[in-house]
Amino acid sequence: MAFEQQESLTEQPSGLRRKVWCRGCRRELTDRDARLRGWGRECDPDYKTRLPAHEVDQEPLPGM
């Protein structure tokens, strides 16, 4: 008599991605980078430091 092994119920079915939740607000993350970090864009404490500096070439003020 052969026994068939039941599939594990804890494993994720192939083709589906695991749900990842934000560490701050507990919302589900959909953005790839946010999923890797574990933080949503609004909650990420390092988000502001990762933005490139926005520098604008500007004419000097007259009289200075």
Residue 48 has pLDDT above 70, yes or no: no
Tell which wins on pLDDT, 41 or 1: 41
Domain spans of the chain? Answer: 17-47
Q: What is the per-residue pLDDT across 53-64, written as a single tens digit (0 to 9) for each?
A: 677 788 888 876
> Which DSSP symbol is given to 63?
T
pLDDT surpassing 60 at residue 15: yes
**Closest CA relative to residue 22, chosen from 34, 8, 5, 10:** 34
Q: 51 or 37, which is more confident?
A: 37
Q: Please list, in sequence order, all residues whose beta carbon lies within 8 angstroms of the beta carbon of residue 42, skipping any fewer than 6 positions away.
A: 24, 25
